[in-house]
Amino acid sequence: MAACYFPDIWAWMQNLLPVTQWKTNSMSICIFSSKSTQTSLNLTITKNLQNQNPSLSFSIVADLNIPIPLWISKSFKHNIQTPKFLDNGTLCNLFCNFIKDVLNYGPTKNTSFLYIPSLDTISNFKDVFNLSFFTLTLLICIYEAPQDIRLECLNALKNHLIASHSKETSKTLMRLLGSNIEEQWVRSLNLAITNWIVELDAQNHILRTPSPLFSYSISALGLWKVQLYCPIIAMNTESSSNASADERLQFSLRHHQLEGVIQFGYKVVVQEKWVNVIVKVDNIRCDVIRLVSETLLTEKGAGAAEKHFPSRISLQLTPTLQTNVLSISVSKSSENPAREIGLEKTIEGSFDPPNSFLGFKAAVSETMTMSLKPWKFEQSIYGYSANLNWFLHDSVDGREVFSTKPSKIALLQPKAWFKNRYSSAYRPFTKQGGVIFAGDEYGESVLWKVDRGALGKTMEWEIKGKIWLTYWPNKHRTFYTETRGLEFREILQLSLV
């Protein structure tokens, strides 16, 4: 698909004449124009100077035979004496309006953590402003746009928002919003994407989404961090059962998203003849979070407890330029299974009536118990790449979950480990349904020896990974099972000083 260039909304607003010099009551700019239907989507600014409190409002309008407003901002007080069209205060309020209206489409609408500093202190605020506007436009199009312009505009917006420049700007926006608002922002966006994919599936269309849909990395202060989000429906299906999911179960499974955080601590130790680069697991967190309310999941779905769970996490760390790398060392993997074998012999006896042949019966039974550690951690080396893998195992038979299809008999057993998996005392997940691998348990480090000639340089490390999510029935009566996979890749920086 050819690239579509969207206008610089910030620059257009900055170059507008003061409202007292407008010849009409409104000014518009075309956001997107459909080549097939000759329909456009416009941003319109309308002034109201008729009362004692002059005001401005902004709207996104579908320019059909009869123009249809798809979104209207709140009214902003306007100082007609200002030499600029918009002062910083109004721009900041408009930016907050974009943010809050994006959040309004999500399951949570708590904006108490939203704080925007002075615009003069925000680097590249122009790009952040434009990105927030076009993200809102994407949601508006998904929920409100007429068919004449809908599909073309959505595809163009999607390609624009996943481009490398937008991805870099997203990092700035997320840091500006803070982690609490970031989670709400991405859940609103991914709920809209989920609804769009459901709509396209019903029309036998395929939406090609990046995997993951949104991710970014940070390298600072001895910490590497990768944050990623992806709606379940956008993940690739690795395997599924012959049985099909009923409509209510599909609703519950679709309306969740994967949220992952991968954190490594790194340290540079200068030796006499080489440099040690030591990387250690700090925190690996993987959660499956609902995108709609629990009430809706109960009314239209099979409940909030019917969702995927993490079954395998695979990470690979590789220095991209290996000229100065001398060697790599990894530590041992975790031991699995942890066996607890107990042999118990019991004798049961009973007396028969006097007419019986022996008059006494005895029975001997033996029981053997074995417990398996649910998660196994393994390290391996490929070239100068360090491979880290976490595998979830069925605690009954020890088989890997991500590659296993349980039998129908196993799915019917009421006390199987995957039943009531978010409330059982023996659950391999957190109460919320995710997993956390911390450095105190998986803290064995990976060590690269690097030639001293690399001192003073910044090296790049590539982190590639894949996360598998599996669904086995929890409380819902079904034989449906499936496993989905998500791949990602990020570049991390490390200064050898």
Q: pLDDT averaged over consecutive 10-residue blocks of the chain (497 residues)? A: 74 90 92 88 90 86 91 89 81 94 90 85 92 97 92 92 91 92 95 94 80 86 95 94 91 97 96 94 95 96 96 96 94 58 52 53 54 82 95 84 87 82 83 88 86 94 97 93 95 92
The pLDDT tens digits of the residues spanning 51-101 come to 677 889 999 999 988 899 999 999 998 877 777 788 888 899 999 999 999
pLDDT at position 365: 53
What's the CA gap between 168 and 170, in Å, rounded?
5
- For the chain, the structural domain boundaries read 1-210, 214-335+371-496
- Strand ranges, E, within 422-481: 435-438, 446-451, 458-471
pLDDT at position 342: 47
Residue pair 242/202 in contact by the 8 Å Cβ criterion: no
Cα–Cα separations (whole angstroms), residue 438 to 284, 377, 425, 428, 432? 6, 12, 20, 14, 17
pLDDT at position 419: 86
Cα–Cα separations (whole angstroms), residue 81 to 27, 84, 86, 253? 19, 9, 11, 55
Residue pair 463/456 in contact by the 8 Å Cβ criterion: no
Sequence-ordered alpha helix ranges (H) in 218-356: 247-254, 294-300
Q: What is the DSSP string of 47-116?
A: EE-SSSS-EEEEEEEEESSS-EEEEE---EE--TT-SSSS-HHHHHHHHHHHHHHHHTTSS----TT---
Half-sphere exposure of 290 (CA within 13 A, CB side): 20
Question: Are β-strands 385-392 and 26-33 bridged in parallel, bridged antiparallel, or unpaired?
Answer: unpaired
pLDDT at position 360: 54
Give the CA angle between residues 419, 425, 429 to the nearest 5°: 70
Question: Which H or E element spans position 487?
Answer: strand 482-495
Radius of gyration for the chain, computed over Cα atoms and rounded to the nearest angstrom:
29
Phi-psi bin for 174: left (phi > 0), alpha (psi -120 to 50), beta? alpha
What's the CA gap between 444 and 331, in Å, rounded?
6
pLDDT at position 341: 42
Residue pair 364/381 in contact by the 8 Å Cβ criterion: no
